[in-house]
DNA sequence: TCATTAAATACATACTAGTGGTATGTATAG
DNA sequence: CTATACATACCACTAGTATGTATTTAATGA
């Protein structure tokens, strides 16, 4: 194949193939050759021209997939006519979470923590980032400032809620539990969060139910 | 090297070397050759005579390291003269947790979730196992049966507490936070657990403080 | 405005060191 | 004598590199 006039198309193709494979087979279970084989006609040279390592492909693929979701969550922060408490509920309302879940469902990560260990590590790391630099902690602090939230340990509460939401309520790396169990988890999280001053709202239950439906439809 | 009269010594040497390397460099970052190089004079043939794969070495190394700790925690279950609530507090008291932490501290896992992703995945998986088949859920159910614990969602509460204890209170895969922050986390977890009917007891604070000291002394 | 050329880009090809794992040989203990 | 505990030699495959080649873009001059 000769030189492409629009190399960003090639990059997109590489990232699409990589994302699917990384999710289905894990990072270590996916070889560069696997990716190349999905790019009909293309060779390893092309891949290593656009990316300098497998690691970089991995990160780029997920950053690209997550970008619109991160953007959507961030967009709420600037809004002026909402209290912190209202924004907090919004963060875990269906319209904020379900699009992310639909993306994950399409990517079909392996329901085995060890196979998906790298993805799991990213979600773990991301839970802390989300609390610190992302949306959750800023929203909580906004709520404390405007008097709509009373929380003595905002940072810790944010981390705990974020961890549980990402690694426990999202059925990413483990077999899908029965719907009632997932709802029980959500109810449990709501109670626990309330104990440290965070009212996540009962929409979390609806969110969880919708997540379950998406996951179930996707054939888990 | 000729044939050893006591092959279990060879096995022990392999597992010792493997454990240290897997912790320090992660699973993928450790090659069989790395392990062999630590077994002076021995070769890959010896390793593959005793273990059939890298995976098996990994599992055997950690099972061996964890065995005494698991045993110690299990030993509490049979005791008859304690209520479930008392046993629950015991599970997170210093004498139950600190030995485990000292083991981890000696192994020095990399404070990077991605590098330690396989260990992280094991801890994650283990958190669910601990709730389901391990000590936590049985103890809670014992407490419900004897009237010392009032918990509406024992399974969910156990999972949540287990996850937070293993992935948030233990400073395994992330840089060590300041002591006050770790104590704030512990306080936060105690409050959240109380909200779903589990009294972890204030010993958790002492446990956390001791864990921090061990970690700090180990040079994190 | 357009042809010519130079340089930068987008790939393909061929190769390397190192990996997990195996097949097989050999010496020793039971 | 046999089974075990190793050592030796090898294999297919991996991430990554060095280099070659064709094509697009930019610069130039008229």
Distance A151 CA to C27 C1' (A): 72
pLDDT at A201: 93
Query: What pLDDT digit, counting tens, does each position of A42-78 carry?
Result: 999 999 999 999 999 999 999 999 888 888 888 877 7
- Are the CB atoms for B189 and B204 separated by under 8 Å? yes
**CA-based end-to-end distance of chain B:** 39
Average pLDDT, rounded, for chain B: 92
A116 CB neighbours in chain B (<8 A) are 121
Query: What pLDDT digit, counting tens, does each position of B177-217 carry?
Result: 999 999 999 999 999 999 999 999 999 999 999 999 999 99
Residue corresponding to tokens 């967009």: A75
**Of B220, B59, B75, B186, the residue nearest B126 (C-alpha):** B59
**What are B213's two structure tokens?**
């000291």
The Cα–Cα gap between A19 and A29 comes to 13
pLDDT at B165: 96
Interface of B to A at Cβ within 8 Å reads 28, 113-114, 116-118, 120-122, 124-125, 128, 153, 155-157, 159-160, 163-164, 167-168, 173-174, 181, 184-185, 187-189, 191-196
For residue A99, pLDDT beyond 90: no
**Residue B183, min C-alpha distance to chain A (Å):** 10
Candidates B158, B160, B176, B198: best to mutate against A (most CBs of A within 10 A) is B160
Distance B12 CA to D9 C1' (A): 27
Find and list the nucleotides of strand C having atoms within 7 Å of a protein beta carbon: 9-14, 18-25, 27-30
A174 CB neighbours in chain B (<8 A) are 128
Query: What pLDDT digit, counting tens, does each position of A162-219 carry?
Result: 999 999 999 999 999 999 999 999 999 999 999 999 999 999 999 999 999 999 998 8
Kindly give the confidence (pLDDT) of every residue in chain B, 220 residues in length, as a single tens digit, with 9 standing for 90 and above.
567 778 899 999 999 999 999 999 999 999 999 999 999 889 999 999 999 999 999 999 999 998 888 888 888 777 888 999 999 999 999 988 998 898 888 888 888 999 999 999 999 999 999 887 788 999 999 999 999 999 999 999 999 999 999 999 999 999 999 999 999 999 999 999 999 999 999 999 999 999 999 999 988 7
**Of B27, B215, B51, the residue nearest B119 (C-alpha):** B27
The Cα–Cα gap between B214 and B216 comes to 5
What residues contact B10, with CB distance under 8 A and at least 6 apart? B4, B42, B46, B50
What residues contact A63, with CB distance under 8 A and at least 6 apart? none
**Residue A195, min C-alpha distance to chain B (Å):** 6
pLDDT at A106: 84
């Amino acid at each position: 194949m000769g030189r492409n006039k629009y190399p960003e198309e090639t990059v997109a193709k590489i990232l699409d193939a990589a994302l699917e494979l990384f999710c289905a087979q894990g990072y270590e279970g996916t070889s560069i050759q696997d990716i190349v084989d999905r790019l009909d006609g293309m060779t390893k040279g092309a891949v290593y021209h656009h990316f300098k390592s497998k690691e970089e492909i991995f990160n780029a693929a997920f950053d690209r997939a997550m970008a619109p979701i991160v953007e959507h969550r961030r967009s709420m922060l600037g809004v002026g006519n909402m209290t912190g408490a209202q924004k907090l509920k919004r963060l875990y309302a269906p319209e904020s979470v379900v699009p992310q879940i639909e993306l994950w469902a399409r990517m079909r990560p392996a329901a085995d923590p060890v196979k998906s260990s790298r993805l799991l590590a990213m979600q773990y790391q991301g839970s802390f980032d989300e609390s610190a630099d992302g949306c959750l902690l800023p929203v909580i602090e906004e709520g404390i400032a405007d008097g709509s939230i009373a929380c003595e340990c905002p940072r810790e509460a944010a981390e705990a809620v974020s961890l549980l939401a990402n690694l426990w309520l999202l059925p990413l790396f483990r077999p899908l539990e029965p719907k009632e169990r997932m709802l029980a988890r959500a109810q449990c999280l709501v109670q626990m969060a309330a104990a440290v001053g965070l009212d996540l709202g009962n929409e979390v239950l609806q969110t969880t139910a919708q997540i379950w439906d998406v996951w179930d439809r996707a054939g888990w």
